[in-house]
Amino acid sequence: MKARPTFTARAKAIRLLILDVDGVLTDGRLVYGPAGEELKVFHVQDGLAIVAAQRSGLIVAVISGRASPAVSRRMADLGVLEVHQGTDDKEAVLDTLLRRRRVTPQETAYMADDLPDLPLLRRVGLALAPTNAAAEVKRVAHWVGRRPGGEGAVREAVEAILRARGNWPPPESA
């Protein structure tokens, strides 16, 4: 019987980190402003971690079933170029990313919190979940954090990956 790779072995292989938005980068609540506009709150520590991941050589991407100008703005602020929103077929987006970026599923990490993401979590080399993810997601995940989505869960996951790779803490900015 072949031994299952450890978290460290999986993390060292990662070249592409994909994040879901609602429930991962946000707390999952939908908030609407007085004009009906959708508002989102992002944790600053997640942003620092995303920048650190990119500086360490990881490609960071976002795949979301919902489209939001707030997500576009935040990802632009962080320099994330692979932002895919409003998609009904996340697996097709994953396939496109893998092909275009020349990355294998084993070199891909995906962080998600709910049932629509189970097919992607099952396909990647490193499945990640915040502590408040659905039970079905936690069962599939190779790693479950202690922090909930929108409250530094991405920071915690990125830090774990980069520590395993020997890239944490990131070098200080000049």
Give the Cα separation of 129 and 160 in Å (integer): 12
pLDDT at 17: 98
pTM value? 0.94
Structural domain boundaries in the chain = 11-165
Residue 49 and residue 7 in contact, taking contact as beta carbons nearer than 8 Å = no
How is residue 6 written in tokens?
A: 């450890």
pLDDT at position 174: 36
**How many other CB atoms are there within 10 angstroms of residue 91's CB atom?**
12
For the chain, how many helices (H) and strands (E)?
Answer: 7, 8
pLDDT < 50 stretches in the chain: 174
Contacts of 164 (CB under 8 A, 6+ apart): 7, 8, 11, 12
In contact, 125 and 108? CB cutoff 8 Å: yes
For residue 169, the model assigns a pLDDT of: 86
Tokens coding 84:
């895919």
**pLDDT for 132-168, tens place per residue?**
999 999 999 999 999 999 999 999 999 999 999 999 8
Token pair listed for 62: 């976002």
Strands 38-39 and 31-32 turn out to be antiparallel
Q: What is the pLDDT of residue 1?
A: 64
Domain 11-165 has CATH 3.40.50.1000: yes
